[in-house]
C-alpha cells in the first residue's frame, strides 16, 4: 500500500481542518503543523486524528514518514 500524507487522506474524505478542531479539540494551527510535517502528534493526538480520519494509528505514523520535517 502506498503511503499517503494526512492532507491527502483528509481531502479524500472531504474533511476540513476546522472540523477536526471543532470535533476533536485539536487546534487548526497545530493540526496544520502536523499535516505539513513540522510537528509529530502526541499519542493522544494521533489517536484523535485516527478517529477523525477513520484510519489506523499505523496509518497516522506512516503518513509522517512521507513528510520527514517533523520534530
pLDDT tens track, the chain, 71 positions = 566 889 999 999 999 999 999 999 999 999 999 998 899 999 999 999 999 999 999 999 888 887 766 55
Between CA 38 and CA 30 the distance in angstroms is 9
Residue 64: predicted pLDDT:
85
**Are the C-beta atoms of residues 41 and 66 closer than 8 Å to each other?**
no
CA proximity to 57, closest of 67, 40, 43: 43
Residue 23: predicted pLDDT:
93
Residue 8: predicted pLDDT:
92
Residue 17: predicted pLDDT:
94
Between CA 23 and CA 21 the distance in angstroms is 6
For 6-66, CATH number?
A: 1.10.260.40
Residue 71: predicted pLDDT:
54
3-state secondary structure of 32: helix
Q: Where in the chain are the domains?
A: 6-66
Q: How wide is the angle at C-alpha 23 spanned by C-alphas 31 and 21, nearest 5°?
A: 25
Amino acid at each position: 500500500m502506498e503511503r499517503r500524507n494526512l492532507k491527502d487522506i483528509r481531502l479524500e474524505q472531504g474533511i476540513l481542518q476546522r472540523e477536526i478542531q471543532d470535533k476533536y479539540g485539536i487546534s487548526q494551527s497545530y493540526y496544520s503543523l502536523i499535516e505539513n510535517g513540522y510537528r509529530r502528534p502526541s499519542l493522544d493526538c494521533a489517536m484523535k486524528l485516527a478517529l477523525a480520519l477513520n484510519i489506523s494509528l499505523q496509518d497516522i505514523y506512516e503518513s509522517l514518514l512521507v513528510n520527514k520535517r517533523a520534530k
